[in-house]
Amino acid sequence: RKEVEQDPGPFNVPEGATVAFNCTYSNSASQSFFWYRQDCRKEPKLLMSVYSSGNEDGRFTAQLNRASQYISLLIRDSKLSDSATYLCVVSLTGNQFYFGTGTSLTVIP
């Protein structure tokens, strides 16, 4: 079983739409959680960390459900520039990081 599972999509949404991605992780002892964004043929870049109480950064909201071992990312008012692959990342000890395959998002004009 993979450490991190994501729906690969693709998600094709119109500009202005709200879209949500989910991710599940297998190890209940995981300590840290992140969402990264990866543009085509580029390196991953941190979008936001995910805290136990949930957190928001502008149009992006991340939630963590430890009981169900899933993480979510909500994007409101989608922009064309949000088109990318979103990677769910989980770390057990803060040393090794496990990446999901990513969820592909295309925002359509």
Partner 1 sequence: EADIYQTPRYLVIGTGKKITLECSQTMGHDKMYWYQQDPGMELHLIHYSYGVNSTEKGDLSSESTVSRIRTEHFPLTLESARPSHTSQYLCASRRQGGTYQETQYFGPGTRLLVL
**Positions in the binding site for partner 1 (CB under 8 A):** 2, 4, 8, 31-32, 34, 41-46, 49, 51, 87, 91, 93-97, 99-102
Task: Report in angstroms how near the CB of residue 16 gets to partner 1 at its nearest.
Answer: 28
Closer Cβ to partner 1, 14 or 29, answer by number: 29
SS (H, E, C) the chain: CCCEEECCCCEEEECCCCEEEEEEECCCCCCEEEEEEECCCCCCEEEEEECCCCEEECCEEEEEECCCCEEEEEECCCCHHHCEEEEEEEECCCCCEEECCCEEEEEEC
Closer Cβ to partner 1, 1 or 41, answer by number: 41
Closer Cβ to partner 1, 7 or 76, answer by number: 7
